[in-house]
Structure 1
Amino acid sequence: MQIEIKIDEAYKDPKVVILTNKITDEVNELLKRLSDTHPQTIAGFKDGNLKILQPDEIIRIFTENQKVYAQTEQGKYLIRLRLYELEERLDKGTFARISNSEIINLKKVENMDLSFSGTICVNLCNNITTFVSRRYVSKIKQILGI
């Protein structure tokens, strides 16, 4: 992809033009990022208190007893959004779905153990261990380029 910026004082607001021969996943992702109106912060509740969570604070997002939680270094926070809504809202280059019940922050991954047959063991910061379900193994390998 080529990126070109032109400074023209005739324009009061920025204007973005995409020139392409066809719509690709890369173009769609770019369009989504440019038109993203969702806030990047997430409201989390703990002990009756609201905390605004920044994406870089979140280690993982998971479901437990039919509720959605965000795990941070300070503990787990109840989230009032569904996993699919969070998956749409969060940066796909940073967060990855690893099962039907969990999304992880790829920047918080310490290592991955590929020796298990058909699955991947993921070790996150704060001694959190989780697993990529078989259904998501190929997607994770594609994201990581392995």
Structure 2
Amino acid sequence: MKVNIDIDDKHEETTLTIQAKEWTEELEEIVKVVKKRRQQRLFGVELDQTILLDPNEVDFVYAEKRKIFATLKDRTIEIKMKLYEVEEILVPHDFTRFSKSVIGNVNRIERFELSFNGNLCVYFHSGNKEYITRKYVAAIKEKLMKGGQAYDR
């Protein structure tokens, strides 16, 4: 991908032009990020207290029994939002779908293990683990190869 930026006093407003051969998921993500006027915050609730969550510390977010939870290194915090709303906030922070009910932070992944059924077991630096269903495996591999991060220790 090639990026051109032209900064000049003659421009009255900021205009973004994307030239591409075809529409891709990558372009869709770029448009989502650009359309966000200001970064929304992610809040969790723990012991009747509202907590501001740092997306860089969240391993994954999941839905269970009609509630949404964020998993950090050593704790799980409830989020009072819908999973798709959380996903919109976290996409610019390199989160992606792992399954119908899980969104994971690709920057926190340490390693993968292939399961017998075609799913991937993902291990995070924190020691937490989660599964990526077959439907999402190819997209995550592509994202990691195109610039998402996965670290090996």
Aligned mates of 2:56, 2:48 — CA distance in 1: 23
- Greater C-alpha radius of gyration: 1
Question: CA–CA distance in 1 between the matches of 2:107 and 2:18?
Answer: 32
Partner residue, 2:91: 91
Once residues 122 and 62 of structure 1 are traced to their aligned partners in structure 2, the CA distance between those partners, rounded to angstroms, is 14
Q: Residues 49-88 of structure 1: CA distance to partner in whole angstroms, max 9, x if unpaired?
A: 0111121121110122221001112511111111122222
1:1-41 Cα distance to aligned partner (Å, 9 max, x none): 4322233224465x124153666234443332222136342
Of the structure 1 ranges 54-63 and 38-47, higher mean CA displacement relative to structure 2 is found in: 38-47
TM (norm. structure 2) is 0.78
Q: Which letter maps to 1:29?
A: E
Tell me the number of residue pairs that the alignment of Structure 1 and Structure 2 aligns.
145
Match of 1:103 in 2: 103
Moved over 4 A (4+): none
The aligned runs of 1:48-63 (5 Å cut-off) are: 48-63=48-63
List aligned pairs for 1:22-37, cutoff 5 A: 24-25=23-24, 26-37=26-37
Separation (CA, whole Å) in 2 of partners of 1:122 and 1:22: 33
Pairwise CA RMSD: 2.6
Kindly provide the CA deviation profile for residues 109-132 of structure 1, in whole angstroms up to 9, marking residues without a partner as x. Answer: 110012534111111122212211
Q: Match of 2:91, SS?
A: coil
**TM-score normalized with structure 1 length:** 0.81
Which residue pairs with 1:73 in the alignment?
Answer: 73
Identity %: 29
| Structure 1 residues not aligned, in runs of 5+ | none
Question: Which structure 2 segments of 5+ residues have no match?
Answer: 146-153
